[in-house]
Amino acid sequence: MAMPLCFPTRRNRGNASRVVRVSGKEGKIPPSAESPEAHKENGTPQPLGVGVNGAGATSVAVAKPLELDVVAAELDETDSAPSSSDAGSVAPPPPARPCPAVPDTPEERALAGLRAEMERRGECIAHLSRADLLRWLRARKLHVGKSSDFLQADLAWRRKHRIEERSGEDADAVLGCEVAKLKAFLPHENPPCLDRRGRPVIIKHFGHVYFSRLLNSTNITLDQLCDYNWWVNEQYTRRLNEVGAEQWLIICDAKGFSPTQMDRVALKVLKSMANIDADHYPERLGGFVIINAPASLAFVWKIVSAWLDEKTKAKVQIISAGEPKRAREHLHSLIDPAQLPAQYGGTAPALEEWPAWPAKSGVPPPKSPPKASPAK
């Protein structure tokens, strides 16, 4: 016979069922069955009983069936849900965290791939900015594998030659002699002027350079000359960072050029310099304008252009010595005359003349219109 027992149940909020545990299991009693009216029959309360039947099993007995379902599950989520009565006292849930940005352009996807690949290879590139990494990618048409090889070779070259350390040395120490002696053969300047796009302007003069004479008279070796080439590029790079630009513009004056300058030594020097520029300073060249070019320069250009990729060759423009007006107009389209040295058609201070800069170089000023004859 079942002994009547009253035992506590956990009350859910709202209209959720009560839960009772019988023999380690939980049962749900519908609210309609738990109400006082449900325990009455003909107005008489009916007790809820729990006992052990003849087979030894636990049983639940009520005066009226309560549709008890025994389940092995957790409480309904409604157990912790706020009711309408206390909803106003519960703080709203915190806003969802924004999803991380997903690269949605070819350059961003390639950039993420390059970073991951360089990390996989054990290369530290934390010192390289986003713009730096994009230069290496653009130089290899956003191909992550090729760009990774390209950048890794540069990092190894910089470690081998101690570029970061030696770029802070004096120019004379890197070159092995006074830079003034080099400039007597190969004038080059980086005047404090910018082009119309905010890029530093570098002016070089190849019209009087004989590399054989240069190496013989100064005892400079080819390696030292190449070292000086990257040292200068490092100084130009610092200038880029100062003005917030990514590329530079080069004006090359070929006035006085002769084919006899291009001997085997000269070609070897130029090729070595071109390789350094291409392998370690990609996408730094914004434009290369050759002015005062004699007809004989076409032969040399045919040789030199074979060392360059198509993208670099497209940035080179050659203006012959017989077109001073075109040269002046083109330079003015690139550089504001107020930023351009006087030798090259501008109003900025002239570059120092020989030995730092060859005399009679640059672009001649426009001819003044003839004066009107006085009236008789």
| Interior/surface letters 2-30, b for 16+ CB within 10 angstroms, e for the rest | beeeeeeeeebeeebbbbbeeeeebbbbb
- Determine whether 97 is exposed, middle or buried from the number of CB atoms within 10 Å of its CB (0-12, 13-18, 19+): exposed
Domain 171-344 fold is Phosphatidylinositol Transfer Protein Sec14p (3.40.525)
Would you state the pLDDT for residue 333? 97
Predicted pLDDT of residue 17: 44
Q: How far apart are CA 33 and CA 11, in angstroms?
A: 14
- Residue-wise burial string across 259-270, b where 16 or more C-beta atoms lie within 10 A, e elsewhere: eebbeebbeebb
Under DSSP, the state recorded for 74 is: P
Long-range pairs of 271-278 with CB within 8 A, sequence gap ≥ 24: 271/307, 272/222, 272/225, 272/226, 272/229, 273/225, 273/226, 273/229, 274/304, 274/307, 274/308, 275/307, 276/226, 276/229, 276/230, 276/233, 277/229, 277/233, 278/308, 278/309, 278/312
pLDDT at 356: 66
Tell me the longest C-alpha to C-alpha distance in the chain.
150
Residue 90: the pLDDT is 65
Give me the pLDDT at residue 321, please.
92
Q: Which two tokens stand for residue 158?
A: 């910089």
Q: Return the CATH fold of 106-161.
A: Helicase, Ruva Protein; domain 3 (1.10.8)
Cα 169 → chain centroid:
28
Q: Which residue ranges make up each domain of the chain?
A: 1-74, 106-161, 171-344
**What pLDDT score was predicted for residue 375?**
54
Q: Comparing C-alpha atoms, which of 56, 38, 55 is closest to residue 47? A: 38
* Phi, psi values for residue 18, rounded to 5°: -80, 155
Predicted pLDDT of residue 181: 87
Cα-Cα-Cα-Cα torsion 117, 120, 126, 127, nearest 10 degrees, comes to -70
Segment holding 264, helix H or strand E: helix 264-280
Torsion of CA 121, 125, 126, 130, to 10 degrees: -120
Question: What pLDDT, on a 0 to 100 scale, did the predictor assign at position 8?
Answer: 44
Angle of helix 144-161 relative to helix 264-280, nearest 10 degrees, comes to 120
Cα 278–chain centre separation = 19
Q: What is the pLDDT of residue 48?
A: 45
- Count of beta carbons in the 10 Å neighbourhood of residue 54: 7
Q: What is the pLDDT tens value at each position of the chain, 376 positions in all?
A: 444 444 444 444 444 444 444 444 444 444 444 444 444 444 444 444 444 444 444 444 444 444 444 444 444 444 444 444 454 556 777 776 666 566 689 999 999 999 999 999 999 999 999 999 999 999 999 999 999 999 999 999 999 999 999 999 999 999 999 998 888 888 899 899 999 999 999 999 988 788 988 888 888 999 999 999 999 999 999 999 999 999 999 999 999 898 889 899 999 999 999 999 999 999 999 999 999 999 989 888 988 899 888 999 999 999 999 999 999 999 999 999 999 999 999 999 888 765 667 777 888 777 765 455 555 5
The sign of the dihedral angle between the CA atoms of 222, 266, 190, 301 is negative
Residue 4, pLDDT score: 44
Q: Could you tell me which residues come within 8 angstroms of residue 1 by beta carbon, excluding any fewer than 6 positions away?
A: 51
Whole-number pLDDT of residue 282: 97
| 264 within 8 A of 272, measured Cβ to Cβ | no
9 token code pair: 């149940």
CA angle 127–144–100, rounded 5-degree value: 70
| pLDDT at residue 207 in the model | 82
Type of residue numbered 242: E
- The whole-model pTM stands at 0.70
